[in-house]
Structure 1
Amino acid sequence: MSSPTPSAAPPRDGRGTAPMLVLDDLSWSVGGAVIVDGVSMTVDDGEFLAVIGPNGAGKTSLFNLVSGLTRPTRGRLELAGTDITRLPPHRRARLGLGRTFQTSSVFADLSVGANVGLAVQARSGESRRFWRRAAPVGGPEIGRVLELVRLSHRVDALAGDLAHGDKRKLELALLLAREPRLILLDEPMAGVSAGEIGELVEVIRTVHREQGCTVLMVEHHMEVLLDMADRLAVMHHGALLALADPDTAMADPQVQAAYLGDTL
């Protein structure tokens, strides 16, 4: 398989010039099986990069490597100029890396405001006081974050009572409360009803554009990705098949073959 020719992300006025994320020959093998195979790419500060590929292409495994849940067997990673290859997830989080997962993860028995309050406490180093009422701690910050994700009206609702789309928005709020620089979104639309997708998309746009977060997103709703992404990183059999703007990537014969199931 030929290596993709990386395309530069479009320039962004007001963004930093240093790359937000650098992957250099990143690989992960298990029992001789190669799951992620020599992925190299640079993600610019403020970029929206969509990671796509057929099932089993290695997308979530790549996110696990970037977030620190899995340690690479070869290669290195940099976050805003800092080598994070050997850092555990909590150290990466302190440097500004946040992630959501395919399944919702919120404190179901706490209110929406208390969930965000705990995230504010964690950022300020007060997470050991979790037994205290979270909402008064950083109250204005809780309100600001909930307004960003369009959940201000549900501040007192139990997180477990939220519709699935609102739980996804709450997960984003928990990330924003910790002031991330880079956010990994792993299938944020999974399980979300068709009627909720539009507003969730607008929330993600707000996180990206207004908060200036760099975003990497895995998602199977291609129409969403093609509309939002600056570039597509196309994975196939663990390797990076293409890295380009959406029109160029989707016109690539190898990308089309990967999605149509033809032999590459």
Structure 2
Amino acid sequence: MTTDNATAVPAVSARDTPPATSLALDHLSWSVGGAVIVDDITMHVTEGEFVALIGPNGAGKTSLFNLVSGLTRPTAGTVTLSGVDITRHAPHKRARLGMGRTFQTSSVFADLTVGANVGLAVQARTGESRRFWKRAGADGGPETAAALELVRLSHRADAMAGDLSHGDKRKLELALLLARRPRLILLDEPMAGVGAGEIGELTTVIRDVHREQGCTVLMVEHHMEVLLDMADRLAVMHHGALLAFTDPDSAMADPAVQAAYLGDGA
């Protein structure tokens, strides 16, 4: 029972709860022979956020991706995935915790069908390929079908992966990641080498993957029109350091960003 002058405590709604941090980089640095490649990066990405990483060539974007994915060990600082310190984890351990990555060059099994490629990824996650009666590369059933539908490759399930266009190979790589059920996806220049006629659909596929799966996306890309349309925030790198980390409009209006990336306020 409350008295008349008691102060009511407002209920806490889900709206009041701050979003969880998906990826936290704290004072992350990497030096080689005295040269600083990645310089004291601190960046917290929230769960489900789409962050675009931009900067001129040589800014350190791919080097930062290598630190996040475990291909390179940092000189200093930490990498945390959903609250777990993974700074010293090998890439395969990070994958088990829900991190997936694509690279600038396509990597699929050219001599297998599109469906078999995704089926292998499903088996790798479930462990079914270890069963001696289970044929490696089997189609993976409903999970394969769902992944191919999301990336708009259902009609190419029986095609050889090596026969796909470059844009469709990029879609297949996304399907391979989805088969592993990632919580965080790192996309390293997914539009590299993709023909102009395929960029629009690939952009739509990436947007659909982000929205429908609810995963966190960190993407390096040079097509600014693609990034500005999809990103919640831009992380701008210059000379290995983080120059800005804010919404696209604020980032593009920043004089320091304009000078470093766009060219003296152009």
**Which residue does the alignment assign to 1:34?**
36
Distance 1:21 1:151, change over 3 A: same
Q: C-alpha distance in 1, partners of 2:22/2:180?
A: 17
Distance 1:240 1:207, change over 3 A: same
Q: C-alpha distance in 2, partners of 1:128/1:185?
A: 29
SS of residue in 1 equivalent to 2:213:
coil
**Which residue does the alignment assign to 2:71?**
69
**Which residue does the alignment assign to 2:138?**
135
SS of residue in 2 equivalent to 1:66:
helix
Q: CA RMSD in A?
A: 1.8
Unaligned runs of 5+ in 2: 1-13
Query: 1:129 Cα deviation (Å)?
Result: 5.8
Q: C-alpha distance in 1, partners of 2:244/2:203?
A: 25
State the structure with bigger RCO (CA 8 A, min sep 6), 1 or 2. Answer: 1
Query: 1:128 Cα deviation (Å)?
Result: 4.2
SS of residue in 2 equivalent to 1:210:
helix
The amino acid of 1:54's aligned partner reads P
Counterparts in 2 of 1:155-194, with a 5 A limit?
155-194=157-196
**Which residue does the alignment assign to 1:208?**
210
**Which residue does the alignment assign to 2:85?**
83
Query: 1:140 Cα deviation (Å)?
Result: 1.1
Answer whether contact 1:18 1:81 (CA < 8 A) is retained: no
Query: 1:46 Cα deviation (Å)?
Result: 0.3
Deviations 1:175-200 (A, max 9, x none): 00000000000000001011101110
Q: C-alpha distance in 2, partners of 1:129/1:66?
A: 33
Unaligned runs of 5+ in 1: 1-11
SS of residue in 2 equivalent to 1:54:
coil
Q: C-alpha distance in 2, partners of 1:129/1:97?
A: 25
Answer whether contact 2:108 2:169 (CA < 8 A) is retained: yes
**Which residue does the alignment assign to 1:46?**
48
Deviations 1:118-169 (A, max 9, x none): 0000010234469824234x31111111000000000010000000000000
Counterparts in 2 of 1:98-247, with a 5 A limit?
98-128=100-130, 132-136=135-139, 138-247=140-249
Q: C-alpha distance in 2, partners of 1:243/1:52?
A: 10
SS of residue in 2 equivalent to 1:191:
coil
Deviates more, 1:138-147 or 1:215-224: 138-147
The amino acid of 1:34's aligned partner reads V
Q: C-alpha distance in 1, partners of 2:58/2:44?
A: 23
The amino acid of 2:96's aligned partner reads R
Identity %: 80
Query: 1:17 Cα deviation (Å)?
Result: 2.6
Query: 1:18 Cα deviation (Å)?
Result: 1.6
Q: Which of 89, 94, 97 is equivalent to 1:95?
A: 97
SS of residue in 1 equivalent to 2:181:
coil
Structure label with greater radius of gyration: 2
TM-score computed with the length of structure 1 as normaliser: 0.91
Q: C-alpha distance in 2, partners of 1:64/1:230?
A: 22
The amino acid of 1:191's aligned partner reads G
**Which residue does the alignment assign to 1:6?**
none
Q: C-alpha distance in 1, partners of 2:19/2:244?
A: 23
TM-score computed with the length of structure 2 as normaliser: 0.90
